[in-house]
Structure 1
Amino acid sequence: MFESTRNIFSKALVAGVLLASFSCDDESGNDPEVDSNERLYTIGFADGSGNPSATYVQSHTDLSSDVDVTFKDFGFEVPSTRTARLFTSSDGATMYSLDYGGGSIYKFENNGGQDYKEVDKTNIEFAMGTAYPRWTRLNDEHAMLHSIATEQVFDETSGDYSYTKATARLLLVDLEDLGMSTNVEFEIPRSTADEATGDYVFRIDAPVVSGDKIYYGMGKRGVDPSNPDENADAAYNTVETLVLDFPSLENPTILSTNIAGGATNGYRTTVAYTDEQDDVYQIITVPNNTKDTYILKITAGKYDETFKFNLSDKLGVNTISNGWFYVGNGIGYVPYANSDQGGTGDAVWSVARVDLYKETALKLNTPDNLWLQQYQNSVAVDGKFYMALAPLGEKGYIYEFDINSESADAITAAASIESAADSYYIGIY
């Protein structure tokens, strides 16, 4: 059953106007070019690696080696129950935040330094049915809020466990005034693979728009029918993506391939992007590292079965990744953990440059002892890609990567960043 309710708040948009606006909006994530001299860069910092970590930000127009970044007695604390989920407008002048666990979204005016002025706030807990939704920026105009509710279904005759039903709730957010519309709720179709294994969808995230479709990544759990209350690892024999019409958010279907096995929802780093040819590239994250890390390609609504980009094979080490950053023309940067040395919770992270059009991958000479499990975002401006990298508890730098270079040494230490024990940088926005 597919249910749809619209205009649930006074801020909600008229559906017909919203649909018309999408006829001229570019939802691919390819925002207008911004003059680098005018861009504000927000640097995000989390104090404490546990769930209730505080989140601080500060902004700069200059990321050069002349700049020293410290959060000691400086920085704006973002209202957050747990680590804030942040993004900014393409020029950096506006910051948005989801209070994960608090059930509100915020809009801030970035006036430079630690001066962030709250200009709007909306409670989304009632609309989403939870204070713990996730959200993803689509472009400068819109973002998506999303959550999953699960329910065990039992046989009416025997009383035995049958399957776990997953109900998705999606809400389109207008970033101009944090207005909400196209709020839909539906049961996620069960795929043939899930019917065979008993796996179920417990999380969706990382949506990306291509053409008139939106593609949602999915994370799954397994279940022991004799003890359905105990979480189990999913089989992940395939890769699956939830697909809906956009912007109506109707007609949910499941897109599947057996090229690889793993989750498509990621963690806090973006997972899927639309390139200049309107193809979707998504990285496959593998819980418990039971399978290799792949980047897969979706063309015209189907997985391209000829594109099999195995990051582990190309780097010559076993890898785990929570997401990646696409910078254009087939080039991307992938933070990954070397699972021969540890897991995502260990300081065994590196960064690889990938060229999806040439199907190559190169480990870059970034510092050792990096922990990037909760790294959220980075930016590319004027042919340069920037990441805030600091070994645990040590001084680090904002590194400038030359996007056009195929050298492992094509990175330059720019602004210095001060770190501390049990604190870490979560991104540049």
Structure 2
Amino acid sequence: MIFKNTFLSKSKINLLAAIGLSLSLFSCDTDDDNGSKTTPPVGNQSYYNVVFGVSSEGNSGTYAQALENISEGNISFNGKGFEVPSVRTARIYGSPSGEFLYNLSYGGGMIYKYQVNGGSNYTQLAETNVQVAMGTAYPRWTVVSKDNALVHTINTENQYDENENYTYTKSEAVLQNIGLENMSLEEKSVLEIPSFEENYHIWRIDNPTIKNGKAYYGVAMRQFDPATGENVNPETYKATTMVVDYPELTNLQFLRSENAQGSTYGYRTPVYHGDEQGDIYHLTSNPAKLLKISNEDYDNSYSFDLANALGMAEVGANGWFYVGNGIGYVPFYDASKGRGKEEAAWGVARIDIYNQTATKLNLPNNLWMWYYQSGVVGRDGKFYMAITPLGQKGNIYKFDPNSTSPDAFEVGAQLENGADSFYLGVY
């Protein structure tokens, strides 16, 4: 089901910084000709960037190390690592080659580009302040191709009539395109979002992907209760995707699923992926279901319920990683136990989106992956993740996408860990 909205305002900003850089990103074989991002980056890394957070309370320090081999040995951040600047946990992306690292300082309103030199040695190449363009120091962002990233935020304001009775909540999306070569601010749009049924309004968007000249964003809604003056979060609304033309960031539309309810924006893990057939698959959070967008609308004949596939009662997830040929990996949690550190009821499943099957991998217990951000397909075709139980040592895991066995992985380098620290992933 498609809803359209009239475009209200648009500005193009071309602030090409005269910083004298002549750098170009390495190409990635699986980027399609429409600029769709490749998540995860595939196969030609010079370095694997391993990223570590020192507190699980949100305001964590974030550190990176660039390693040529993470299949063996020991990885420790004790006195090592490059501190990636951020007020809260950094939002990080790596280039397909592993030679560049990008960071949004969440709470600082800055985006940085670094040359990866190996070990703890990273050189800042460019930066841009997006706070003025976005109107907040807390936007979210996604690298959508080897050349561009999208930064986005939602502004909301409750509306009242002349008698001071609540009428609806006005939502406005601010969208900004970033050129990654020298962090240039490019297309920008400010779009008014229509209201939805029962006082639901969009309050967050994130994790867009690009396909066939469109940007598809995940959506979270809230419901305002005039009696209490508070927002509540009953995720009983239809799962929704926001779509705009790309790169223009205009022609606002909404797709709504008949098969699932609730949030589609994820958290820090990728959520939307395009496959080789030209379709888009995305995850809903809780219950965790894979939905399919085909020919620019939901294919309501498709609904992949992870709980059913895993033989569990309730499953939630923040996002997933697509590695190609219908195969992906999902960090998930047992929603009947909870998603917090106290429950630590997380695991990783290999999924086949075409056959709608899922296999829980035989990983250690006591995992908590709420902040987990990234995995990569390595030079050997294996999918690499950094996985540690809470407060314990962990390992790099190399999963074999070609195998359906729950033991289809090799254990790589050992990861040192602290009492309240975690690994954000491999980039």
TM above 0.5, yes or no, is: yes
Identity of aligned residues (%): 43
Q: Kindly indicate whether the alpha-carbon contact (under 8 Å) linking 1:387 and 1:428 is maintained by their aligned counterparts in 2.
A: yes
Higher RCO by CA contacts (8 Å cutoff, separation 6 or greater): 2
Structure 1 counterpart of 2:110: 104
State the 1:250 CA deviation: 0.7
Structure 2 counterpart of 1:29: 37
Q: 1:39 aligns with which of 41, 46, 49?
A: 46
Structure 1 counterpart of 2:417: 419
Q: Distance in 2 between matches of 1:31 and 1:269?
A: 10
State the 1:34 CA deviation: 6.0
Q: 2:371 aligns with which of 356, 374, 386?
A: 374
Q: Kindly indicate whether the alpha-carbon contact (under 8 Å) linking 1:337 and 1:344 is maintained by their aligned counterparts in 2.
A: no
Q: 1:356 aligns with which of 343, 353, 357?
A: 353
Q: Distance in 2 between matches of 1:183 and 1:62?
A: 40
Q: 1:365 aligns with which of 359, 362, 375?
A: 362
> Does residue 199 of the first structure (1) align with residue 195 of the second (2)?
no
Structure 2 counterpart of 1:316: 311
Q: Kindly indicate whether the alpha-carbon contact (under 8 Å) linking 1:202 and 1:219 is maintained by their aligned counterparts in 2.
A: yes
Alignment of 1:56-95 (within 5 A): 56-65=63-72, 67-95=73-101
RMSD of equivalent CA atoms: 1.7
Unaligned runs of 5+ in 2: 1-6, 19-31
- Relative to structure 1, is the Cα distance of residues 8 and 35 closer, same or farther in structure 2, using a 3 angstrom cutoff? closer
Structure 2 counterpart of 1:120: 126
Q: Kindly indicate whether the alpha-carbon contact (under 8 Å) linking 2:40 and 2:322 is maintained by their aligned counterparts in 1.
A: no
Q: Distance in 2 between matches of 1:247 and 1:319?
A: 35
> Does residue 296 of the first structure (1) align with residue 291 of the second (2)?
yes
Q: Which amino acid in the other structure matches residue 198 of structure 1?
A: N
- Relative to structure 1, is the Cα distance of residues 33 and 79 closer, same or farther in structure 2, using a 3 angstrom cutoff? closer
CA deviations on 1:4-40 (whole Å, 9 max, x unpaired) are 111263549xxxxxxxxxxx9541224898654x521
- Relative to structure 1, is the Cα distance of residues 33 and 152 closer, same or farther in structure 2, using a 3 angstrom cutoff? closer
Runs of 4+ in 1 over 3 A off after TM superposition: 8-12, 30-36
Which secondary structure state, in structure 1, belongs to the residue aligned with residue 282 of structure 2?
strand
- Relative to structure 1, is the Cα distance of residues 33 and 293 closer, same or farther in structure 2, using a 3 angstrom cutoff? closer
How many residue pairs match? The answer is 405
Q: 1:155 aligns with which of 152, 157, 161?
A: 161
State the 1:341 CA deviation: 2.5
State the 1:222 CA deviation: 1.4
State the 1:79 CA deviation: 1.0
Q: Distance in 1 between matches of 2:40 and 2:383?
A: 17
Q: Kindly indicate whether the alpha-carbon contact (under 8 Å) linking 2:86 and 2:105 is maintained by their aligned counterparts in 1.
A: yes
Which secondary structure state, in structure 1, belongs to the residue aligned with residue 89 of structure 2?
coil
Q: 2:325 aligns with which of 323, 329, 336?
A: 329
State the 1:170 CA deviation: 0.4
- Relative to structure 1, is the Cα distance of residues 249 and 70 closer, same or farther in structure 2, using a 3 angstrom cutoff? same
Q: Kindly indicate whether the alpha-carbon contact (under 8 Å) linking 1:52 and 1:82 is maintained by their aligned counterparts in 2.
A: yes
Q: Which amino acid in the other structure matches residue 88 of structure 2?
A: R
Q: Which amino acid in the other structure matches residue 206 of structure 2?
A: D
Structure 2 counterpart of 1:178: 183
Q: Distance in 1 between matches of 2:16 and 2:320?
A: 37
Which secondary structure state, in structure 1, belongs to the residue aligned with residue 118 of structure 2?
coil
Structure 2 counterpart of 1:140: 146
> Does residue 54 of the first structure (1) align with residue 61 of the second (2)?
yes
